[in-house]
Structure 1
């Protein structure tokens, strides 16, 4: 799955992954992260998600990265904030006191550019990537990601639907994160009849860092 796949999805407005309201699972489970006000939350592969505006309204700061410029343009319009724009390496960086938005390849964003974060909210990043890329994704994310994480996944018969979103099993999540995080399933929702015609389950995970010895 290359960059052009996603750029084409945005050009053709094939963005069924974009929700018209803040994700109710985020609203319900944000408290699981146990974050004080002004904590900085990283949202990878953000699209133009309304979740970012909702997080800001709750008193959090946000950093996000998205591949597609159109998505970020629309996100900035939604937020109605004034940003400073600069080119930073291969990425475009839009900065506001409460928000940092990066445009470009997720794998080009390092900790020096991102800065410190207090938590990660992954609604549409891991499930957007095919299996070989998920290994690379989680290795890269754990760099800045030894912090609490709220992760949303889908589980279904991958052979019956090509994705994205892709099926990510509980066993795979354990494989990626068991060495660095305590993993807790907060909720699972039966999506039968509401997911591409397939039997599917949506799951919400809390990942808490394991204290380093």
Structure 2
């Protein structure tokens, strides 16, 4: 799945994956992550998700990474936030108080970028990627994250190979992350012909 695929979706406004409201699973299950106020939370492939505002409202420093520049800019504009923009070697940083969006390729991140991260929230990253890229994504995330991090992960299970979003089975979640994390299935709910599943990954 090339970068142009996602850039085209954003330019054409085909962003059905974007939720206008705060994700219900985040609200219901975030306490399971059990992070201290002020702990940094990483949101991969964050788009312009309002969930980042909710996390900031809980007292966390939020770090997002997003490929598309319009998504980053729209996040600040639509939420009446003023960002300080700075070019780095691999990313463009858009930051305001307790919130920083890095515009660029997730796979260009380094361990230093996430060295102080304590938690991860993934609602739309893993399920956005085809199978071969999910393996690369999981390996990269495991490589980058410091010890002791907890991950709240939301996946979808349904009977179709089509996507995005893609079907990600419980077996695949355990295969992708089980060598590093304890994998706990927290809950699920049926949404039409799909089942949404919430996971907690912990060292």
After TM superposition, give the deviation of residue 127 of structure 1 in Å. Answer: 0.3
1:123 to 2:85 alignment: no
Q: Which residue does 2:152 correspond to in 1?
A: 150
Q: Residues 1-213 of structure 1: matches in 2 within 5 Å?
A: 1-145=1-145, 146=147, 147-159=149-161, 162-192=162-192, 199-209=193-203
Q: Secondary structure at the match of 2:117?
A: coil
Give the Cα–Cα distance (whole angstroms) in 2 for the partners of residues 30 and 79 of structure 1: 22
Contact 1:117 1:144 in 2 (8 A): no
Q: Secondary structure at the match of 1:77?
A: helix
Unmatched tracts of structure 2, length 5 or more: none
After TM superposition, give the deviation of residue 54 of structure 1 in Å. Answer: 0.9
Please give the root-mean-square deviation of Cα atoms over the aligned residues, in Å.
Answer: 1.3
Count of aligned pairs between the two proteins: 201
Give the Cα–Cα distance (whole angstroms) in 1 for the partners of residues 62 and 30 of structure 2: 14
After TM superposition, give the deviation of residue 38 of structure 1 in Å. Answer: 0.7
Q: Secondary structure at the match of 1:118?
A: strand
Give the Cα–Cα distance (whole angstroms) in 2 for the partners of residues 140 and 97 of structure 1: 28
What TM-score do you get using the length of structure 1 for normalisation?
0.90
Give the Cα–Cα distance (whole angstroms) in 2 for the partners of residues 114 and 183 of structure 1: 21
Contact 1:116 1:144 in 2 (8 A): no
Q: Secondary structure at the match of 1:11?
A: helix
Contact 1:86 1:92 in 2 (8 A): yes
After TM superposition, give the deviation of residue 84 of structure 1 in Å. Answer: 2.4
After TM superposition, give the deviation of residue 139 of structure 1 in Å. Answer: 0.8
After TM superposition, give the deviation of residue 191 of structure 1 in Å. Answer: 1.8
Give the Cα–Cα distance (whole angstroms) in 1 for the partners of residues 49 and 130 of structure 2: 21
Give the Cα–Cα distance (whole angstroms) in 2 for the partners of residues 202 and 94 of structure 1: 31
Give the Cα–Cα distance (whole angstroms) in 2 for the partners of residues 65 and 29 of structure 1: 22
After TM superposition, give the deviation of residue 92 of structure 1 in Å. Answer: 0.7
Give the Cα–Cα distance (whole angstroms) in 1 for the partners of residues 182 and 112 of structure 2: 26
Unmatched tracts of structure 1, length 5 or more: 193-198
| Structure 1 range deviating more: 109-118 or 130-139 | 109-118
Contact 2:72 2:94 in 1 (8 A): no
Give the Cα–Cα distance (whole angstroms) in 1 for the partners of residues 33 and 113 of structure 2: 24
